Amino acid sequence: MYHLRDVVKTREAEGMAFRLRVPSLQISMGEKIALTGESGCGKSTMLDMLSFILRPSDIGAFCFRPAGVKKPLNVEAYWKANKLNRLGDLRKRHLGCVIQTGGLLPYLTVRDNMNLCRNVLGLKRDGTVEHLAAELGIANHLNKLPDALSTGERQRVAIGRALAHKPAIVIADEPTASLDPYAAQRIMTHFMGLVDELNITVILATHAWGHVKKLGMRQLHHRTVCHAESNLTETLVSG
Amino acid sequence: MGIPLVKTFVLASRDYFHEWQMSFCFVVGLAAVLGPMLVLFGLKFGIVGAMIDQLIDDPRNREIRPVSSGRYDHGWLENVRARPDVAFLVPRTRSIAATIELTSERSPRNVRVELIPSATGDPLLPSGQLPEGVARIVLSESTAKKLRVAAGDTVDGSIARQYRNQKERVHLPLTVTAVAPAQAFSRDGAFVSVSLLEALEDFRDGHAVPRMGWSGDHANSVRTYPGFRLYAHSIYDVAGLSDAFADLGVDVHTHAADIERVQHMNRNLTAIYWAIAVIGLFGFSLSLGANLWANVDRKRKELSVLRLVGFRTLDIAWFPVVQALYAAVFGWALAVGLYQLVAWVINEMMASQLEEGQMVCRLLPHHYEIALALTCGAAVLSAGFAGLRSARIEPSESLRDL
């Protein structure tokens, strides 16, 4: 589904430079990918580029082939032509995103939050949300506002929202970072069970090694090098 | 493939009502600017409107009188009467000849009255009270009181002349058709037809008036008049007519100065009002714009989430616009409510000094509509900038803010 070659993102701050380089990355349909590493090594940068919300500094090749489409789409060309709305449409149709802090809209009920992606796609209400809520153990919170929920419950709602429109790919950035290990374990188990059931490609960033091994995910290799003379920290990701 | 506008609208609305405290503050802030502006305009409109109404209602303000007497013949008068800005014109006979002594059986008094020429369309008399022919008369209020007569009564009119060294006096019965309103003529006077006045003038000059049965010398064939009673169509025609008479070499006395004073005041007040309104509207737009701008910052993360689930640039830009429109409509409604309350209080307070139905503070329905349109326009304009800003949000930079 993804094909990346020599994709680079460089960031500079206070004389320190950070560079993420992807010499080569292939992700195929149905794969469960884990991006592990300490915070600050570029996991989020990587995921943002994969979900088309961060413009890479330099692109060798960046192709995306949604399920059911024969010819891969040239993401590089979209970025070059500044077609942000086209990228947004891709995200809307093919991706589900879980962000670290939930990212729920405070003015919508749990049900409407979970329905958000379905709603923008114009999908009918068919009980998917209720089913997901039951699976995630938040069925009794459907009519509450996110404010009334605990952090863990909100995170489950975020997972539910990313899955409700049955996207081909789910990109999750540290979905359990703010939870205690036991809750994290439970939620991750639920999450992986659901994506297996729906046959969804998963790209997950986490610093918890335990899950990855237990859940049998493919781990991306990455290596961080410090170039002391130029104040540059470079992370290489491939797989 | 954008998001249907209605969905954006629903989301923006839910956000707006979810933050009702914040939204309420916006609405109050707007009403605090708009309410006083409505009151100011209502006062300006009410006060100036009442003055203009008074000017229009009082026909004396439309009167144009020649300053000195002249010699106006029929043809000249007809030309003036044909002007579209002239509503009423009758010739006056010489004022020495235009008097009559009236007596009535009900009163011992002998009242000498000024006679005022009248005809159809006399602005001083209510329609249907006209003295037609030579046997009818409309008395001024003071005359009627002195003679103790009312409409329908008959009075005796008499005039005298020195003719061939002999004093002659003729009497004629006159039917009182009506008593003129008090403001029409304040002294002892009476409205009569021009033909009666002409007959009286001829008699005094020693001419014969066959139709009245009065003997004397042969009548003049060409009649000229020393003056006329003229009323313009509206107060706005007075200045133009006055200029036209100046061109004809006739000095006239008008109320043009009074009319000009009110119009001048109206213009000045309007200018002052608009200066205040523009400053107020500008201030309001600026404050709303700044608030919405800050709102975009505050909601950076939520807007980024919308971006993440595929909202397009334009969809996002609608958010502040929709919310600003809510603020505009609710703020306007609150301001109108405040205005109604204040206007009611002001009008109640002033009621004793005003005529029935007059209001010091008054707005017409279309004033409310204009206020709403201006408010919405200013709100949308200031929200547009905030909208542009929200459309530029980089989701990757805002999503991870806690």
The string of pLDDT tens digits covering residues B361-374 is 888 898 999 999 98
Helix ranges, A199-237 (H): 209-215
The answer to whether B280 faces chain A, any CB pair under 8 Å, is: no
pLDDT digits (tens, 9 = 90+) for B225-251: 898 999 998 888 888 888 888 888 888
pLDDT digits (tens, 9 = 90+) for B120-136: 888 888 877 777 777 88
pLDDT at B94: 86
Q: Is B191 left (phi over 0), alpha (psi -120 to 50) or beta?
A: beta
Q: Which domain holds residue A106?
A: 2-238
Q: How far apart are the first and last CA of chain B?
A: 31
Complex confidence, ipTM = 0.87
Where residue A219 sits, what CATH number does that domain have? Answer: 3.40.50.300
pLDDT digits (tens, 9 = 90+) for B13-28: 999 999 899 899 889 9
- Stronger pLDDT, B162 or B115, i.e. the higher one: B115
Q: Which of B306, B309, B399 to mutate to test the interface with A (most CBs of A within 10 A)?
A: B309
Tokens of B186: 């304040």
What residue of A is the nearest CA neighbor of B393? Answer: A53
Question: How far B14 CA sits from the closest chain A CA (Å)?
Answer: 6
pLDDT at B46 over 50: yes
pLDDT at A211: 67
pLDDT at A114: 93
Per-residue pLDDT of chain A (239 residues; tens, 9 = 90+): 899 999 999 888 777 888 889 988 999 888 888 888 777 778 888 899 999 988 899 899 999 998 778 888 999 999 988 888 888 888 888 999 998 888 899 999 999 999 999 988 888 888 889 988 988 889 999 999 999 999 888 988 999 999 999 899 999 988 887 778 887 888 888 888 888 888 889 998 887 766 667 777 888 877 888 887 777 888 888 87
Query: What span, in angstroms and rounded, lies between the C-alpha atoms of A57 and A34?
Result: 24
- Is residue B401 very low, low, confident or very high in pLDDT (cuts 50, 70, 90)? low
Q: Which of B308, B322, B390 to mutate to test the interface with A (most CBs of A within 10 A)?
A: B308
pLDDT at A103: 86
The answer to whether B6 faces chain A, any CB pair under 8 Å, is: no
Cβ–Cβ under 8 Å, residues A194 and A161: no
Query: What span, in angstroms and rounded, lies between the C-alpha atoms of B185 and B166?
Result: 35
Query: Count H helices, E strands: chain A?
Result: 8, 11
Cβ-based contacts of B304 with chain A (< 8 Å): 103
DSSP readout, B45-60? HHHHHHHHHHHHH-GG
Amino acid letter for position B60: R
The answer to whether A119 faces chain B, any CB pair under 8 Å, is: yes
The answer to whether A125 faces chain B, any CB pair under 8 Å, is: no
Q: Taking the CA atoms of chain B, what radius of gyration do you get in angstroms?
A: 35
Number of domains in chain A: 1
Query: What span, in angstroms and rounded, lies between the C-alpha atoms of B111 and B104?
Result: 9
pLDDT at A115: 92
pLDDT digits (tens, 9 = 90+) for A64-89: 998 778 888 999 999 988 888 888 88
Contacts of A178 (CB under 8 A, 6+ apart): A100, A101, A151, A155
Cβ-based contacts of A44 with chain B (< 8 Å): 400
Tokens of B190: 């009476």
- Is residue B274 very low, low, confident or very high in pLDDT (cuts 50, 70, 90)? confident
Q: Which of B300, B301, B392, B396 to mutate to test the interface with A (most CBs of A within 10 A)?
A: B396
Cβ-based contacts of B2 with chain A (< 8 Å): 85
pLDDT digits (tens, 9 = 90+) for B158-169: 888 887 888 888
Sheet holding B63-66, edge to edge: B86-92, B227-232, B63-66, B252-253
Tokens of B249: 């070499």
Q: How many CB atoms lie within 10 A of CB A146?
A: 20
What residue of B is the nearest CA neighbor of A91? Answer: B310
Helix ranges, B86-210 (H): 141-147, 194-204
Instruction: Kindly state the average pLDDT of the residues B78-101.
Output: 88
Tokens of B297: 């910052």
CB contact under 8 A, A51 and B301: no
Closest CB from B4, B19, B396 relative to A53: B396
Q: What are the residue ranges spanned by the domains of chain B?
A: 5-56+261-398, 63-253
Query: What span, in angstroms and rounded, lies between the C-alpha atoms of B55 and B68?
Result: 25
The helix or strand, by DSSP H or E, that contains position A106, with its residue range, turns out to be: none
**Number of cross-chain residue pairs from A and B with Cβ atoms under 8 Å apart:** 70
The answer to whether B7 faces chain A, any CB pair under 8 Å, is: yes
pLDDT at B315 over 80: yes
For the ranges A99-103, B215-219, B336-340, the maximum mean pLDDT occurs at B336-340
Closest CB from A91, A104, A107 relative to B18: A107
pLDDT at B220 over 70: no
pLDDT at B402 over 50: no
The answer to whether B392 faces chain A, any CB pair under 8 Å, is: no
- Please tell me whether residue B135 adopts helix, strand or coil conformation: coil
